[in-house]
């Protein structure tokens, strides 16, 4: 069975795919979005809800590989690697190390440019879609347990100075005013006023889809098993036997995208960062803004639907079962950091973050199929960068010049 041919097919109904559908539909394209579950039902449903526009530092710059022995010995630490997965992960880790040695400055500049556009595009899209009331502009508070930890953060804040990103270091009464009830173990913090959050990322994604649907976008539920460059244009083969054809195809399938890219001649070194969280009932603690416990690799975010405690990284691929002990470890730490936090009644979750070794997403045309475009690999920043990525995809599909140089995000850079 073959479905009617749309102008543009989008694989993936996460936040990146939904934003692409919205902007393409606004531009007059006929758009069909295909996903195996629904609108923002998977990784985009459970993220930390941040518009992290000041988070411009590439992960590879942080000297993470020196911690490899500790990661292997601490399966519940901020970043872990299951020992059995290490041989498969090793090529990605080597690329990650090389990116930290030689690619830091180009990646930093590319991220900063992307973040400037991301903020502008998100604010404009929220206005057009009527979702601006879902935005919270309370900033973030990054917390340090010692002077040494605070000093170690300073080079990263100095790098942000180069891009006029506002922040201020706080302590004592000012820190307590920004977040009452903190444990006394925190000696300093950094407040970033430009950091924003949303009421709930799943609800925002569904609201953006409502806007896209009003502009003519349609949704097809189905599991894509193959994507090919057919004689008459890109084709998607679904598990149930259906075939979808379009004039153009956008691959925005998150952590599964690289599997589809192989069919178009691109071998993308994507790895999966498995992130965990627990969403507690509303009222578990009066958190004023997103709290970042960088030394422990997690955040606490106030949502309209509860209080989300989560983060951490487990480099473990797509097939291993979840290890919810990681969620419980973060929750126990949060209870110590926020004395009085009520930890009962929470909902545990795991999602798959699609990450490239240089911390930059893949945005651009496929190697062997000029009508196929990629929009994936945003790591921790999918929600943050979704609207800017959608702008790039709209420009590429429409034959317009992108707003910034896309060469740092080229699928062929590897």
pLDDT digit string, tens, across residues 36-61 = 999 999 999 999 999 999 999 998 76
For a pLDDT cut of 70, what percent of the chain falls above it? 97
In sequence order, what are the beta bridge partners of 228? 235
Instruction: Tell whether the model's pLDDT for residue 62 goes beyond 80.
Output: no
What pLDDT band is residue 134 in, cutting at 50, 70 and 90? very high
- Considering the domain boundaries, does residue 279 fall inside one? no
Neighbours of 83 (CB within 10 A): 11
| Domain count across the chain | 1
Instruction: Tell whether the model's pLDDT for residue 187 goes beyond 60.
Output: yes
- Considering the domain boundaries, does residue 288 fall inside one? no
Q: Cα–Cα distance between 354 and 333 in angstroms, integer?
A: 26
Range of the domain at 225: 1-58+103-135+196-270+356-414
323 token code pair = 């290890």
- Considering the domain boundaries, does residue 298 fall inside one? no
In sequence order, what are the beta bridge partners of 135? 198
Reported as a single tens digit per residue, the pLDDT across 298-307 is 999 999 999 9
What pLDDT band is residue 78 in, cutting at 50, 70 and 90? confident
Q: Cα–Cα distance between 31 and 13 in angstroms, integer?
A: 12
Q: Cα–Cα distance between 414 and 412 in angstroms, integer?
A: 5
- Considering the domain boundaries, does residue 373 fall inside one? yes
User: What pLDDT shows up at residue 248?
Assistant: 97
- Considering the domain boundaries, does residue 31 fall inside one? yes
Q: Which of 257, 261, 225 is nearest to 243 (CA)?
A: 225
pTM of the model: 0.95
- Considering the domain boundaries, does residue 230 fall inside one? yes
Instruction: Tell whether the model's pLDDT for residue 237 goes beyond 60.
Output: yes
- Considering the domain boundaries, does residue 301 fall inside one? no
Q: Cα–Cα distance between 45 and 31 in angstroms, integer?
A: 22
Task: Write the CB contacts of 270 (distance below 8 Å, at least 6 apart in sequence).
Answer: 255, 257, 258, 354, 355, 356, 362, 376, 377
- Considering the domain boundaries, does residue 347 fall inside one? no
What pLDDT band is residue 315 in, cutting at 50, 70 and 90? very high
- Taking every pair of C-alpha atoms in the chain, what is the biggest distance, in angstroms? 67
Reported as a single tens digit per residue, the pLDDT across 12-38 is 999 999 999 999 999 999 999 999 999
Q: Looking at residue 412, which CATH number applies to its domain? A: 3.50.50.60
**248-251: strand order across its sheet:** 218-221, 31-35, 8-11, 248-251, 372-376, 362-365
Mean pLDDT of all residues in the chain? 94
């Amino acid at each position: 069975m073959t479905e009617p041919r749309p102008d543009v097919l989008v694989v993936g109904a996460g936040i990146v795919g939904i934003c692409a559908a919205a902007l393409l539909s606004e531009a007059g394209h006929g758009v069909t979005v295909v996903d195996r579950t629904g609108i923002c039902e998977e990784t985009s449903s459970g993220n930390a809800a941040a518009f992290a526009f000041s988070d411009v530092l590439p992960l590879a710059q942080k000297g993470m590989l020196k911690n490899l022995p500790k990661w292997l010995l601490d399966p519940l630490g901020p970043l872990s690697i299951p020992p059995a997965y290490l041989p498969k992960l090793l090529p990605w880790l080597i690329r990650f190390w090389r990116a930290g040695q030689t690619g830091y400055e180009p990646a930093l500049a590319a991220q900063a440019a992307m973040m400037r556009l991301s903020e502008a595009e998100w604010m404009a899209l929220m206005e057009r879609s009527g979702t601006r009331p879902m935005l919270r502009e309370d900033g973030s508070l990054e917390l340090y347990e010692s002077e040494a930890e605070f000093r170690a953060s300073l080079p990263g804040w100095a790098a942000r100075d180069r891009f006029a990103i506002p922040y201020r270091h706080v302590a004592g009464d000012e820190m307590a005013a920004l977040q009452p009830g903190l444990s006394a173990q925190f000696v300093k913090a950094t407040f970033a006023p430009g950091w924003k959050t949303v009421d709930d990322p799943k609800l925002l994604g569904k609201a953006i889809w409502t806007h896209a649907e009003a502009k003519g976008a349609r949704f097809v539920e189905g599991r894509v098993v193959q994507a090919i460059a057919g004689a008459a244009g890109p084709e998607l083969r679904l598990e149930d036997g259906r075939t979808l054809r379009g004039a153009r195809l956008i691959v925005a399938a998150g952590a599964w995208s690289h599997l589809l890219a192989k069919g178009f001649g691109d071998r993308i070194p994507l790895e999966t960062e498995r992130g965990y969280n627990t969403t507690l009932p509303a009222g578990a603690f009066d958190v004023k803004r997103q709290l970042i416990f960088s030394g422990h690799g997690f955040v606490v975010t106030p949502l309209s639907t509860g209080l989300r405690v989560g983060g951490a990284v487990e480099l473990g691929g797509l097939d291993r079962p979840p290890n919810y002990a990681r969620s419980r470890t973060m929750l126990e730490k949060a209870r110590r950091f926020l004395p009085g936090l009520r930890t009962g009644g929470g909902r545990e979750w795991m999602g798959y973050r699609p990450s490239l070794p240089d911390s930059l997403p893949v945005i651009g045309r496929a190697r062997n199929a000029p009508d196929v475009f990629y929009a994936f690999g945003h790591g921790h920043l999918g929600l943050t960068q979704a609207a800017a990525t959608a702008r790039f995809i709209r420009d590429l599909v429409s034959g317009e010049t992108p707003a910034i140089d896309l060469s740092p995000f080229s699928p062929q850079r590897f």
